[in-house]
Amino acid sequence: MKILKISGILICITGLFLNQSCMDEVHEPQLIFKFKLDSTQVRLDELGQPEPVPPGHAGQSPRFNGISAHYVEMTQSALTQVGGGEVVFINEETTAGGDKAIRFDKEVVVSDGGTFLSVPLEEVAPGTYEYLRVSLAYQNYDVDLLASGYNLTGTIASFVGYNTYISSFKVKDSTVSVNGNRLQGFWAFETGNSPVPVAVQSGQAPGTTVVNPLFATSPIPAGSCLVTGAFTSPFVITGNETEDIIITVSVSINKSFEWVEVNSNEIWEPLAGETVVDMGLRGLIPIVD
């Protein structure tokens, strides 16, 4: 039996030099994060309570083209302060635009169901985690609107991180150059090739809802988009994992695009003066697969 074992080792060593077949069999377990964008998930307010669209306003669930995050932290309890848990990711930041800001060109923008982060499990501290915090950074989505009698589709690029350094970005067909910092709520909009083409417009949203059910015990920094949600059951990492663990970050986009109504038909009519008041995501549920 010892001879067989030695022979196997020699075969494996030979394979390393020939085609690395043995190395190919070694897999380092990963902690994988994926986004799920759910228009049916409960719509929450900033305190984590269910919230309908308020009177005089209307909303729609946008159709996402892409989304990104710049900070991911797992926390042990409702008392764990921001930064006191297991921070598994921080996107690159820069002071090229003055104040510290997220580097948009380093963000990983993914579509619904896409993997936005993969971390070796051996780099994650063993422990029991009850909450997940994800700071959203960028959204790109399509919305319906009515203009000049036409039913149109518009595309919105929305920067919801605390501050973002942007060299340039593409809305739909058009590229916008910035070369500077933009605070949370900066957006750009275009209709693209439509019966009523609208040149790219940009602006600053007056508010961004950021859901944090731990507001009383673990507040988030002002101006951040650090959305917080509880695991469906406490998430345990033992340090002895041998297989990948996937965490699906289910985000509520339930009427997350909200405007002030003028014509009371629940159709966004920007030319009628229906101004957008909120582009914040409406809740987060981390699900361990």
With a cut of 80, say whether residue 18 has pLDDT above it: no
pLDDT at residue 19 in the model: 54
Rounded percentage of the chain residues whose pLDDT exceeds 70: 90
- Between 273 and 198, residue with greater pLDDT: 273
Which pTM does this prediction carry? 0.88
What does the pLDDT read at residue 280?
92
pLDDT at position 191 is 87
**What is the pLDDT, as a whole number, of residue 200?**
87
Please determine, for residue 164, whether its predicted confidence score (pLDDT) is greater than 60. Answer: yes
The secondary structure of 197-260, three-state, reads CCCCEEEECCCCCCCCCCCCCCCCCCCCCEEEEEEEEEEEECCCCCCCEEEEEEEECCCCEEEE
CA distances from 120 to 27, 28, 152, 246 (A): 10, 7, 44, 12
The predicted model gives 75-91 an average pLDDT of 97
Q: What is the pLDDT of residue 197?
A: 65
| Two structure tokens written together for 27 | 């897999």
Q: Tens digit of pLDDT for each residue in 225-258?
A: 999 999 999 999 999 999 999 999 999 999 999 9
Residue 165 pLDDT class (50, 70, 90 cuts): very high
Amino acid at site 145:
L
pLDDT of residue 192 exceeding 80: no
pLDDT at 193: 66
Q: Is the pLDDT of residue 13 over 80?
A: no
Helix (H, G, I), strand (E, B) or coil at 18: helix
| 185, pLDDT greater than 70 | yes
Residue 126 has pLDDT above 80, yes or no: yes
Mean pLDDT, the chain, as a whole number? 90
Q: Which residues of 175-191 are buried (b: 16+ CB within 10 A; e: fewer)?
A: eeebeebbebbbbbbbb
pLDDT of amino acid 24: 54
List, for residues 23-73, the tens digit of each pLDDT value: 456 789 999 999 999 999 999 999 999 999 999 999 999 999 999 999 999
Q: What is the mean pLDDT of residues 144-157?
A: 92
- What values do phi and psi take at 127, rounded to 5? 160, 180
